[in-house]
């Protein structure tokens, strides 16, 4: 089986197992998704989802976030780690979006990554979930699972993104990433994968079945 064939098999297996490929971060609009993704750096999605309801209740719009008291924002996001930097990122990003983009998230990786605290992972989430464009979100689950599958042989997020772009059908890439997150939490768990329960065990070269 070639890498391309294995990638297509993985796409179909995960699609059947997780038909609803949803982003694990809760949000009601593109700006909230952007903020949640910035907060998710070095923090679990579950923790971010506990933080954002109070944050967005206090600052329900880009305009409100741009005028936010940074100390108050720090208090609201304190438990997600690196809160000094993240508070600075999200308030400054709100100001830039209003001043330079009319309050609309720019629809390109290049422009998104100019925003404070926005790397390629965050930019790809916005491109895929907001703009419906082909995207590869190289988070820890995707990197681990695609290495185990033998689709990539690197832990470098940029290299993983580029190599998977060459293997995955563009229209499937974004949902494949979401499904890898779900699978990584439920079955292909770091350090204790449940290979016998895995829908990819028949073609995963790393599967341990005995």
* Residue 85: both structure tokens together: 């930097």
Among residues 95, 121, 194, 202, which one is catalytic? 121
**Would residue 121 show up in a list of annotated catalytic residues for this protein?**
yes
CA angle 157, 200, 139 (to 5 degrees): 20
Greatest pairwise CA separation for the chain in angstroms: 59
**Would residue 139 show up in a list of annotated catalytic residues for this protein?**
yes
- Euclidean distance between CA atoms 95 and 90, whole angstroms: 9
- Euclidean distance between CA atoms 186 and 164, whole angstroms: 22
Taking the chain, what is the end-to-end CA distance rounded to the nearest angstrom? 22
The residue among 61, 83, 62 whose CA lies nearest residue 73 is 83
Among residues 45, 86, 129, 139, which one is catalytic? 139
CB-count burial class (<10 Å; 0-12, 13-18, 19+) for 91: buried
- Euclidean distance between CA atoms 51 and 77, whole angstroms: 6
Which residue, chain included where needed, has tokens 């890498």?
3
Rounding to the nearest 10 degrees, give the CA dihedral for residues 97, 162, 156, 186: 90
Any idea which residues carry the catalytic annotation? 121, 139
């Amino acid at each position: 089986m070639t890498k391309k064939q294995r990638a297509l098999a993985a796409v179909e297996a995960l699609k059947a197992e997780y038909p609803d490929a949803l982003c694990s971060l809760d949000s009601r609009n593109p700006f909230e998704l952007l903020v949640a993704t910035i907060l998710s750096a070095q923090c679990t999605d579950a923790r971010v989802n506990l933080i954002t309801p109070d944050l967005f209740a206090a600052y329900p719009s880009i305009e409100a976030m741009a005028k936010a008291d940074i100390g108050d924002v720090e208090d609201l996001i304190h438990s997600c780690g690196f809160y000094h930097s993240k508070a600075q990122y999200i308030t400054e990003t709100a100001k830039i979006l209003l001043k330079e983009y009319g309050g609309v998230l720019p629809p390109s990786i290049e422009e998104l990554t100019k925003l404070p605290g926005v790397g390629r992972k965050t930019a790809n989430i916005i491109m895929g979930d907001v703009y419906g464009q082909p995207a590869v979100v190289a988070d820890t689950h995707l990197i681990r699972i695609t290495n185990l599958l033998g689709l990539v042989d690197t832990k470098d997020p940029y290299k993983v993104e580029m190599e998977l772009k060459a293997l995955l059908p563009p229209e499937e890439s974004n949902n494949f990433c979401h499904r890898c997150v779900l699978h990584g939490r439920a079955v292909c768990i770091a350090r204790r994968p449940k290979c016998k329960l895995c829908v990819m065990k028949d073609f995963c070269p790393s599967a341990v079945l005995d």
